[in-house]
Amino acid sequence: MTQHPTITLHGAWKGAVGDPAREFTGKVVASDHPNFAAGRDARVTYHTAEEKRPADAAEHGTYTLSVGGQSAKLMSFTCRSEATSGKQGTDDQQPADWQAVPLP
C-alpha cells in the first residue's frame, strides 16, 4: 500500500454550510509534502459541479488546499481534534487540527 503525504492544518471553517463562499483558513502545523511547509498560512475551499453548493454532505465535490502560490486537490480533509465534537455534533467553526491528504 502506498503512503500518501499528509499535511496537518490548524484552523476553522468560516461561513455557513451551503454557502459557496465558505472556506477553511489556518496554518500548516506539520507536513510530509515538499510544497506545503509548516508555519505557512493555508486555505481550503470546497467545489462542486453544481452552481449552488449543496448542503447535503452526501453530495460529491472536491476540496482544494492553497498555501502561498501552491495548490492541490485533496483526497481527504478530516478533523483530528476531539475538542470540536459534542452532543450537537461537530462545530467546524472552532479552531482545531485537520488532516489533509493531497491526491497523487
- Which tens digit of pLDDT belongs to each residue from 56-90? 555 678 899 999 999 999 999 999 876 544 444 56
Tell me what pLDDT residue 54 has. 55
Q: Is residue 100 in a domain? A: no
Residue type, 93: Q
- Which tens digit of pLDDT belongs to each residue from 7-16? 999 999 999 8
Residue 64 belongs to domain spanning: 7-81
List, as one string, the DSSP characters of the chain: -PPPP-EEEEEEEES-TT-TT-EEEEEEEEESSTTS-TTSEEEEEEE-SSSSPPS-TTS--EEEEEETTEEEEEEEEEE--GGGEETTEE-TTS-EEEEEEE--
Q: What confidence tier does 32 reach under pLDDT thresholds 50, 70, 90?
A: very high
Q: Is residue 93 in a domain? A: no
Q: Is residue 103 in a domain? A: no
Count of structural domains within the chain: 1
Tell me what pLDDT residue 81 has. 77
Q: Is residue 66 in a domain? A: yes
- Which tens digit of pLDDT belongs to each residue from 36-62? 999 999 999 988 776 555 555 556 788
Q: Is residue 89 in a domain? A: no
